[in-house]
Amino acid sequence: MQGQACVTRGDEATWRDQRSEQRFEVRFLARLVFNYQLSAIDIRILDISRHGCRLRLRDPIPLPRAFLISFPDIRVERPAWLAWQRDVLAGVRFLDEMPPDFIRLFPPGVTP
């Protein structure tokens, strides 16, 4: 599992996050736009960093490898690619780094 390491204690295995940057837990709606902007699906962003995010789909549909993530509340679109997908959860990597100030646009309680 990329970004995580398994730590074993006897018969018990636990996962420890190995990410190099802080992620911010959020719960807001966004949209995946793909197929030359002819297709879109609504998603929920669960957490986000400057370099990627974790999202939840309504239904377990396979995502395309590359797409735009549209953040309609702040009128921003970011090109991204699919890093992993498990059922209705997916990890996304942004193709260009989000400016640090972008994090400040998220809901109250999310601070850089």
- 9 falls within a domain: no
What CATH code is carried by the domain that includes residue 70?
2.40.10.220
- 98 falls within a domain: yes
Number of folded domains in the chain? Answer: 1
DSSP state of 73: T
Q: Which domain holds residue 98?
A: 22-105
- 31 falls within a domain: yes
Radius of gyration for the alpha carbons in the chain, expressed in angstroms and rounded: 15
Whether 42 contacts 59, CB under 8 Å:
no
Q: What is the pTM of this model?
A: 0.73
- 86 falls within a domain: yes
Task: Give burial (CB, 10 Å; 0-12/13-18/19+) of 70.
Answer: buried
pLDDT (tens digit, 9 = 90+) per residue, 41-90? 999 999 988 889 999 999 999 999 999 999 887 778 899 999 999 999 99
